[in-house]
Chains A and B, each alone.
Chain A
Amino acid sequence: MSVIATQQLSKCYGLRRGVDDVDLRVGAGEIFGFLGPNGAGKSTTIRLLLGFLKASSGNATVFGQDCWSDSATIKQEVGYVAGDVRLYPWLTARKALQIVGEIRGRDILSDGLQLADRFRMEPDLPVRRMSRGNRQKVALMMALAHRPKLVVLDEPTSGLDPLMQDTLADCLRELAAAGHTVFFSSHTLSEVESLCDRIAIVRDGQIVVNEQLSRLKARAPRTAVVTFESATVANSVTVPDFITIQSRSNKELQIQITGAAVELTHWAAAQPIIDLSVGPPNLEHLFRQYYKGNAARPVHNAAAGGSAKDAADMEEYVPFPELENS
């Protein structure tokens, strides 16, 4: 049985579409990456899963129970960190653990304090005197202290320094290894890539990719540089179909291949080359294609509040500017 299952899940805010026909299945022990730019529908999907929002159509279940009507029961085994953590100014980590423990009906103080120690935070510092990163740590501690069967994290690394990001990743890997499920929402490709087994990419409220990371990597293009014995050979060489030449420079040929490099090595072995350098799968390039492509773009019509201008704006829309510049 899937821990999370949604079927044609949609949420409209008036005429605006939040998420549209989302079908997801996340199994036990998975670290599932939910990737998308700001405003793509990640938080809306999470809020639907946690029963904050009522779906306009479709259905969503967690542990086989309805996300709206059985929300309180579901959350006994869920730990959640909101995208924008806002806490009470008077709250300290210790008080938070006491209050949450009383609400959950179990003592989580000692486990929580161990986490506080791991995240290097002071348990008696009030939220009003905390930095953004420390507030994030309090939220993470409250979400993880009861060792939930499902952890739902909405952009949890914002405000955390790289060391704490690593600590969080370790905690999540430990949970997953123990059979717990992690639903990890982010707009940063690198952290999802390093942590998740499977990812879904959401764009304009629709899932455009839902696949194992290993399969995506197999489809991702690689860049290779082939150095020939002479510039003459480099300029005159013909390449097979699976190779795309990107540039020629003196003795060097910069090429792009898709998939495994075995065919390239076979071809290169028969060429008068002096060096071959093959890069890792370029997921960023693949993701950019998903974001910029038209194939899975939701239909914009008048009923959905869309217009010709919206469509024109979409053409220039760059969801991951940091990737564009990289």
Chain B
Amino acid sequence: MKGLLRKIFMEVRWPVLILSIGLALIMALLTELLPKVLGDIDKVFAKLPFVKPLITALLGMDPGEAFTAQMTQAFLWVHPTVLSLIWAHELMYSSRMPAGEIDRGSVDFLLGLPVTRWKLYLSETIGWILSGLFILCVGFSGHWLASAALQPEMRPGAYATFGIITNLMAVYVAVGALAFLVSCNSDRRGRAVGIMFAILLMSFLLNFLAQFWEPAKTVSFLSVMEYYRPAAVIQSGHFPMTDVGILLGAASVFWIAGGVIFQRRSICTV
């Protein structure tokens, strides 16, 4: 396992570091800018009516209702740039093995070694979880440093922030586990990334449509964003236990299914 983890570290260290720093900078910038932008949010809603349902979908609640100064920070955690960066890392990482290795042909090297496929899968999973934690922690540090400049009443409580980060990590785990499942069924990395990108896009679209289209509402439970509501967490101050539980439950099913498929499938690079 140590050799496999070393190999993973050698491969992903620079992309993860660069992405983490990028995320930290963006989160710091957003922390600084969001209060200023959101001060005029009513004007934006009046001018661009479609923006409100979009933000409502992202936040999981209507930004016009009982929106406190603290809750403006919820925008940070659902900002498309933040989510895009995290998911970009996730899709690139989770599609590395086995789809990426088969695509590149290097899976022959890995499978020629005396390790079980479960061990390969587990080592990739450890790398994926650790890199996700690292990216989120570095990203959060950007927000934390920048929030020192905010007025105290605008800073969410530590417990609420912990709840949001845990919820985001659960989203990361659920999406990544699904990406692993897709990757285990594919011989082409591009195809695996494409399928996951389509799934995430559909998830966003479903969440958005559910705000004003009844048929979409009935199936909105399929959207990953349905279980990630930072504004509600800040408002209630409660840990999102149900959402995290559902996300981790789904992640477990996807991950095990991916592992079983990887264990049983024939692998051929030609």
Contact = CB atoms under 8 A, between A and B. Distances in A.
Interface string A57-101: 000000000000001111110101011111110110001001111
B268 A100 contact: no
A72 B4 CA distance: 14
Given A103-B3, A103-B4, A54 B106 contact: no
Given A54-B264, A101-B3, A102-B6, A87 B111 contact: no
A84 B269 contact: yes
A245 interface: no
A104 B113 contact: yes
A41 to B, nearest CB: 12
Contacts of A175: none
Contact of A73 (B108, B114, B270): B114
Contacts of A103: 2-4, 113-115
B140 to A, nearest CB: 29
Given A54-B266, A102-B3, A86 B109 contact: yes
Given A84-B270, A87-B109, A99 B6 contact: yes
Interface in A88-146: 88, 90-91, 95, 98-104, 139, 142-143
B124 to A, nearest CB: 14
* Residue from A52, A75, A85 whose CB has the most chain B CB atoms within 10 Å: A52
Size range of the chain B interface in the assembly: 20 to 34
B218 to A, nearest CB: 39
Contacts, number: 86
A50 interface: yes
Nearest to B6: A99
Contacts of A143: 112
A84 B105 CA distance: 8
Given A43-B270, A86-B104, A86-B106, A50 B7 contact: no
B145 interface: no
Given A84-B105, A86-B104, A95-B10, A72 B3 contact: no
Contacts of B106: 86-88
Interface in A235-285: none
Interface residues of A, number: 37
A287 B267 CA distance: 32
Contacts of A44: 268
A98 B10 CA distance: 12
A68 B116 CA distance: 11
B11 interface: yes
B159 to A, nearest CB: 41
Contact of B108 (A71, A86, A99, A102): A86
A310 to B, nearest CB: 20
A17 interface: no
B170 to A, nearest CB: 31
Interface in B122-151: none
A75 B268 contact: no
A273 B237 CA distance: 110
A104 B115 CA distance: 8
Given A86-B108, A98-B6, A102-B3, A72 B114 contact: yes
Nearest to A143: B112
A53 B267 contact: yes
A54 to B, nearest CB: 5
The 6 closest A-B pairs by CB, nearest first: A102-B3, A86-B105, A103-B3, A82-B108, A80-B112, A75-B114
7 contacts: A13-B268, A53-B268, A88-B7, A88-B10, A103-B2, A103-B3, A104-B114
Given A91-B10, A102-B6, 6 more contacts: A50-B112, A52-B111, A80-B108, A101-B3, A103-B114, A139-B109
